Chains A and B, each alone.
Chain A
Amino acid sequence: MPVPREWALEDKVAVVAGNGLGWSPALVEALSEAGAQIVAVARDRAQTAAMLSRASLSPARTIQLSADLTRPSDVRRAVRKVVAAFGRIDILVNNPQRVVVQPFLATSLLDMRRMLDENLKSVLLCCREVGRVMVAQGKGRIINITSILGERGIANEALYCAAQGAVIQLTRALGLEWAPSGVRVNAIGCGWFTMEQIPQEEQEKSLLVRYLPSRRLGVPEDIGPLLVYLASDACDFIAGQTVFVDGGALVHL
């Protein structure tokens, strides 16, 4: 395995909470390539199976758990099962991905609740329940996957921006609160990503791509190695930080 010695996640227990969409399979693949055992937690079996679709793991090293991550009792039950199976949790990756593009004036109370439940409440609950285990262990790594839209605004995505901004602040506050307990809470803020292979020539036809300093959209492989670093023992002196992987989008005037 080409991972530098310090980065190895050999036999660590990694809980990935979210859904099967987007870059989830790549995140799982990166963790498993570094040697971690994977617990995929999502709404149903189809989602957890999708999360594991790229992992080159023996099924013995993975667990799939179905849970509604917006329900405290479901999250608790899932965490209890992981602890029963492995005795500990080393890594938690929170990867909710509900994106809704909608003018704010057209937003119903239900839209607000759904957005905040899926993108924020689920993260709060997973952090609290897994955090309980990690603080007791005196060690742990939590990585929240968030967005440049938690740092900058954009029209027609007010709810998403609000939720992601909250995740970035949660990361800072918990990073500090659990720093003395050996639990490192950090985040990865993703820029404009695509899940498809689009030739460079094709990409450059897009105004958005021409705006990006790196002149391309991100692909799931762009976040895997960083995730492994943030999850590793080597990364013990970084806390409360959101690292943006955005091809320079945030640098633009």
Chain B
Amino acid sequence: MLEKLNLDGKVALVTGGGTGLGREMALAMARAGADIVIAGRRPGPLEETAQKVRETGMRALALSADVTDLSQVASLVSRATETFGHIDILINNAGYPAQQQYAIWDVSDEEWHAGIEANLSSAFYCSRALAKQMVQRGRGRIINISSGAGIRSLRDNYMYSVGKAGLVAFTKALAMSLGRFGVTSNCIVPGSVPTKSRDAAEGAPPPARNVPVGRVGLPQEIGPLAVFLASDASDYMNGQTFFLDGGAFAGGVTPTGYIREAPSLGGAKEQT
């Protein structure tokens, strides 16, 4: 039953695919057999990733686009679809470095709108542009990349937290609406997985000692998870949020590593 993990014949579109986690997901899916469209703002990294995809033997198309811009989303989707015929997998990974970290009364209207556009609306625009063709083909995968800040929160950080929370809700709304047409939607929440772009978005990650498993995540660790969620093997997962976070979300009511004193075991006899 594991042959379902194969992505042969499938086409994936990854936004923010030039760098960081987007690049890792694109490469992992290519190794699993998918052709890849990579979208992003900077042509340099996009072309680099495309080249790496081609080295796996799969086809790649690098398209420069700002996914908060409706006309650019439209041309991105039409060029991708013209080139490959169809898109089976959409990974909404593009995010926005929400550096805002100050009191709510100092957040301007423009900053609020820009933050929500970048973190949330971009995923809506791309999904809207692709949903109909997925429904018509009776299959599709939408994977949103959210953040722990969207489930719990960050101090003095409104657009990032609210936008990422919106992505979790958007994932569920898609799941409810498109599931019966064979289109599933799921979400990945990467925890402490430092990449250059994420550091810009969330600040430098906490030191490894603040992650329950005792280390930060490696960007390539998102690869197998993305392949699983993109594949037919995840067909009955819908609306779920998957935490790739070293255990952070299992706890959180105390600082990591805080352990309440156990009473002495009196010779530490093993219990039967």
List residues of A whose CB falls within 8 A of some B CB. 1-4, 6-7, 26, 29-30, 33-34, 72-73, 76, 171-173, 175-176, 179-180, 184, 191, 212-216, 218-219, 221-226, 228-229, 232, 234-241, 243-248, 250-252
- Pair B237/A176 contact, Cβ less than 8 Å: no
- Pair B237/A1 contact, Cβ less than 8 Å: no
A224 to B235, alpha carbons, bound, how many Å? Answer: 12
- Pair A248/B227 contact, Cβ less than 8 Å: no
- Pair B250/A175 contact, Cβ less than 8 Å: yes
- B172 partner residues in chain A, CB cutoff 8 A: 251
Q: Nearest Cβ in chain B — how far from A220, in angstroms?
A: 9
- A218 partner residues in chain B, CB cutoff 8 A: 236
Q: Nearest Cβ in chain B — how far from A48, in angstroms?
A: 21
Residue of A nearest to B221 (CB): A237
- A219 partner residues in chain B, CB cutoff 8 A: 236
- B227 partner residues in chain A, CB cutoff 8 A: 4
Residue of A nearest to B4 (CB): A225
- Pair A225/B5 contact, Cβ less than 8 Å: yes
10 residue pairs A–B, Cβ–Cβ below 8 Å: A3-B5, A184-B213, A213-B238, A215-B180, A225-B231, A226-B233, A243-B237, A245-B240, A247-B238, A248-B175
- A250 partner residues in chain B, CB cutoff 8 A: 239-240
Contacts A179-B246, A237-B217 known; A222 to B236 CB distance under 8 Å?
A: yes
Q: Nearest Cβ in chain A — how far from B177, in angstroms?
A: 8
A1 to B4, alpha carbons, bound, how many Å? Answer: 11
B31 at the interface (CB under 8 A from A): yes
- Pair B234/A226 contact, Cβ less than 8 Å: yes
| A-B CB pair tally, cutoff 8 Å | 156
- B245 partner residues in chain A, CB cutoff 8 A: 237-238
B32 at the interface (CB under 8 A from A): yes
- B175 partner residues in chain A, CB cutoff 8 A: 213, 248, 251
Q: Nearest Cβ in chain B — how far from A141, in angstroms?
A: 13
Residue of A nearest to B257 (CB): A180
- Pair B5/A239 contact, Cβ less than 8 Å: no
A140 to B5, alpha carbons, bound, how many Å? Answer: 23
- B225 partner residues in chain A, CB cutoff 8 A: 229, 235
Q: Nearest Cβ in chain B — how far from A144, in angstroms?
A: 13
B112 at the interface (CB under 8 A from A): no
- B228 partner residues in chain A, CB cutoff 8 A: 225-226, 229
- Pair B243/A241 contact, Cβ less than 8 Å: yes
- Pair A225/B236 contact, Cβ less than 8 Å: no
A179 to B31, alpha carbons, bound, how many Å? Answer: 30
Contacts A29-B1, A239-B212 known; A225 to B233 CB distance under 8 Å?
A: yes
- B5 partner residues in chain A, CB cutoff 8 A: 2-4, 7, 225
A243 to B237, alpha carbons, bound, how many Å? Answer: 9
Contacts A30-B1, A33-B2 known; A234 to B213 CB distance under 8 Å?
A: no
- Pair A237/B244 contact, Cβ less than 8 Å: yes
Q: Nearest Cβ in chain B — how far from A186, in angstroms?
A: 9
Q: Which residues 169-201 in B have Cβ within 8 Å of A in the complex?
A: 172, 175-176, 179-180, 184, 191, 193
- A212 partner residues in chain B, CB cutoff 8 A: 179
